[in-house]
Amino acid sequence: MGYDDVLEKANEVVKKIVPQEHVITQILLEGPTVCIYTKSMDLFASGSDIVKQIAQTLHKRVSIRPDPSLLTSPKEAEEKIRQIVPEEAKITDLFFDEEQGEVTIEALSPGYAIGKEGEVQNEIKRKIGWSPKVIRAPPTASKVINEAREYLRMISSERREFLIKLGRKICRDVRGGEQFVRVTALGGFREVGRSCMILSTNESKVLIECGLAMESEDIKLPYLKVPEVLPLEQLDGIIITHAHLDHCGLLPALYKYGYDGPTYCTPPTRDLMALLLLDYIKVSHSEGKKPPFESKHIREMIKRCITLKYGETTDISPDTRLTFQNAGHILGSSIAHFHIGDGFYNIAFTGDMKYERTWLFNAAVNKFPRLESLIIESTYGGYHDIQPSRQDASDALQQIISQVLERHGKVIIPVFAVGRSQEVMLVLENAIRTQRIPPSTIYLDGMIWEATAIHTAYPEFLNSYLRTQIFQMNQNPFLSDLFKRVDSYEMRQKLCDSSEPCIVLATSGMMNAGPVLEYVKAWGRDPNNALVFVGFQAEGTAGRRIQRGLREMVLVDKGNPVKIPLNMEVVTCDGFSGHSDRMQLLNYISSLDPKPEKVIVVHGEDGRCRELASALHKKFGLETMSPQNLETVRVR
């Protein structure tokens, strides 16, 4: 169905469903969304299910917008909004987008601004004409979120033009002919890092992930110069399952070299991507290296991000629909489910996943409407890759920290800014609150504070217990007074010189650089102190060498190399990984509903990929494969 056909059908459906006395002034497509402009906002503000009926009939996302003639002045509208919305909502900002007739209400407690069954929003629509969009203000200020939202407001006209152009591309006339589905491996196959693949049909091409392999001195890039990818303009979209750089680290470079299409991800993934990509530029410059893109290319990426919540379905090409589901790995991480053709084929890609309820997230989703093929990660898919449970890991961490604090020592925990940091924070906050470890200040150094602020902005993406704690009990553990931000060089030096017992979470997680080395320099000589690893330490990193017995490091002090003896206790607490171990991967396949016919194993070292593929075939009788980079697999 072409663009004009979609609009014609939309007009027919609206004419059939909306009562004749209600005036519809315009219908157009913005990206995958049918936008309906009306002079009868009362109809759509009355709690009726008309919008739902239209969306279900069209099988498309629908947005209702006021005709410009209805809009009161922004000044008068703001006064009425503040009268209507209860003070408990704690409005922090209002922004009026005249192009879309939309007012964005940013509030610390957005539920009060929405109201029961949307009654407050509906009253706003009736009183001011503007269509209200309520978003959560981060309870901890986030520079990245604030700047991203402000940037999107500044470029609202450009973004609307982009979405209208995208709508035409998604609804273009199809070529027809024999249908097929195939996957081309461009990175992350029989290896970890530079995840990238192409999902191709006879009508479309979608790039899934675009990451970097950063464990060695020589950064490895995906194979993007192959005919399946070029020219970039032929891509229908890019899917990013989560914000780690091995999955999105090269994405802005595609905008640098001519790609101007959409990137689909969840809202927290967009914000965390911006944080980590900007930091990547900063670190590259500090090491005297030239990054493959600049900050302006990150802005181009943000301009073209189309964000989806879990369970929300959208068209991304003439024959492909996308739905994200929780993957349980980091904030906003997703399993990407693709419905191809009119019931022709269904395939899902897990991205990085965790099939266990953690302190942060529910276990990865294992139920889909249909599923013929699954592409699954295998980071810990080897025969011996069995990890402790989350509870065992938490108990082990609490035990070592108690021992160190009781002997008046200090604890250094090297962490990645996103994921493990926040989980360790929750474990420590709970342990101190329940008196399982002695009271202690927990210092956060590096990007951890900003990454945590982004977590506070999206509690709906956390596990069900945390959501209840935050929404119903008004208790957000991330806002605990136990956490202190190390926000300056002077504060870090003062902390290093302090004799008080404490806990420090600091980047980088593998100890190759970052503020964590300053604490090792200051405290490494004292056997009362401890260095506690909670994350994976890759080959060739300082962290892996210390795990294997390195007891002396050469660090720079005031421009001079200094040998630091590592007399401090070194402990590894396994079980905090955001990846499923072998048993969890097997249990995930066992629990899948429905069972896929084919499983493609990716994102693991060569042996682990092959071992997991073999085990899945023997145990479940599935057709399995573990392709190598540059291979193409036809799944249908």
Tens of pLDDT, residues 528-552: 999 999 987 877 788 889 999 999 9
Say whether the peptide bond before residue 231 is cis (omega within 30 degrees of 0).
Answer: yes
Instruction: State the pLDDT at residue 557.
Output: 74
Packed helices 143-154 and 448-457: angle between N→C axes, nearest 10 degrees: 60
Q: Write the pLDDT tens digit of every residue in 341-372.
A: 999 999 999 999 999 999 999 999 999 999 99
Mean pLDDT, residues 154-164:
93
Residue limits of CATH 3.30.300.20 in the chain: 1-173
Strand order across the beta sheet in which 305-307 lies: 305-307, 263-265, 237-239, 205-208, 196-201, 181-187, 632-634
- Look at residue 84 and give its three-state secondary structure: helix
| Cis-peptide into 40, omega within 30 deg | no
Question: What is residue 177's predicted lDDT score, i.e. its pLDDT?
Answer: 87
Query: Which of 57, 47, 70, 187 lies closest to 121 in space, CA to CA?
Result: 47
Average of per-residue pLDDT across 616-636: 97
Looking at residue 70, its pLDDT comes to 87
Q: Which contiguous run of DSSP H or E holds residue 442? A: strand 442-445
Tell me, what DSSP letter sits at residue 446?
A: S
CATH tag, 1-173: 3.30.300.20
Note the pLDDT of residue 46. Answer: 63
- Give mean pLDDT, residues 334-343: 96
344 touches 636 (CB < 8 A)? yes
For residue 41, how many other CB atoms are within 10 A of its CB?
Answer: 24
pLDDT per position as a tens digit, 21-44: 888 999 999 998 999 999 888 777
pLDDT tens by residue, 362-401: 999 999 999 999 999 999 999 999 999 999 999 999 999 9
Dist CA 625 CA 384 (whole Å): 20
The residues that bridge with 173 in the sheet, in sequence order, are none
Tokens of 586: 């097997």
**What confidence category does residue 48 fall into, taking pLDDT thresholds of 50, 70 and 90?**
low
Average pLDDT across the chain, whole number? 93
Per residue in 502-536, pLDDT (tens digit) is 999 999 888 888 899 999 999 999 999 999 999 87
Confidence bin at 216 (pLDDT 50/70/90): low
Which of these, 556, 534, 552, lies nearest to 542 by C-alpha position?
A: 552
**Weakest-pLDDT range from 46-60, 266-280, 297-311, 576-590:** 46-60
Percent of the chain with pLDDT over 70: 99
The mean per-residue pLDDT over the stretch 150-178 comes to: 92
CA distance 565 to 554: 9
Res. 254: pLDDT tops 80 = yes
Measured at the CA of 116, the angle between CA 114 and CA 119, to 5 degrees, comes to 65
Residue with tokens 């890019």: 238
Cis peptide before 86 (omega within 30 of 0): no
Q: Which distant-in-sequence residues (6+ apart) come within 8 Å of 455 by Cβ?
A: 268, 331, 422, 462, 478
Rounded to whole angstroms, the Cα distance separating 542 from 555 reads: 11
- Over residues 141-155, mean pLDDT: 93
Model confidence, pTM: 0.94
- How much of the chain, in percent, has pLDDT values that exceed 90? 79
User: Contact at 8 Å (CB) between 332 and 243?
Assistant: yes
Write out the two tokens for 296: 């302006």
Query: Is residue 217 very low, low, confident or very high in pLDDT (cuts 50, 70, 90)?
Result: low
Contact 566, 527 (CB under 8 A): no
Strands 24-30 and 560-565: what pairing? unpaired
595 Cβ contact partners less than 8 Å away, ≥ 6 residues apart: 371, 589, 620, 622
Query: Which position has the higher pLDDT, 1 or 281?
Result: 281
Q: Does residue 154 have a pLDDT over 70?
A: yes
The per-residue pLDDT for 44 is 77
pLDDT for res 537: 80
pLDDT at residue 57, as a whole number:
92
Higher pLDDT, 572 or 98: 572
CATH number of 174-384+578-634: 3.60.15.10
When pLDDT is cut at 50, 70 and 90, the band that residue 484 belongs to is very high
CATH 3.40.50.10890 residue window(s) in the chain: 390-572
| DSSP letter for each residue of 294-345 | -HHHHHHHHHTEEE--TT-EEEEETTEEEEEEE-SSSTT-EEEEEEETTTTE
274 is written with which tokens?
């911006």
Kindly report, residue by residue over 181-215, the tens digit of the pLDDT. Answer: 999 999 999 998 899 999 999 999 999 999 998 76
Tokens of 94: 């209002």
Per CATH, is 390-572 categorized as 3.40.50.10890? yes
Q: How many CB atoms lie within 10 A of CB 542?
A: 20
The string of DSSP codes covering 9-51 is: HHHHHHHHHS-TTS-EEEEEEETTEEEEEES-HHHHTTT-SHH
Q: Tell me the per-residue pLDDT of 77-102, one tens digit each, with 9 for 90 and over.
A: 999 999 999 999 999 999 998 878 89
Asked whether residue 47 carries a pLDDT value surpassing 70, the answer given is no
Alpha helices in 155-243 (DSSP H): 156-170
The whole-angstrom separation of Cα 373 and Cα 601 is 11
What are the tokens at 138? 């981060």
For 72-78, the CB contacts below 8 A with 24+ separation are 72/128, 72/129, 72/130, 74/103, 76/128, 77/103, 77/128, 77/129, 77/130
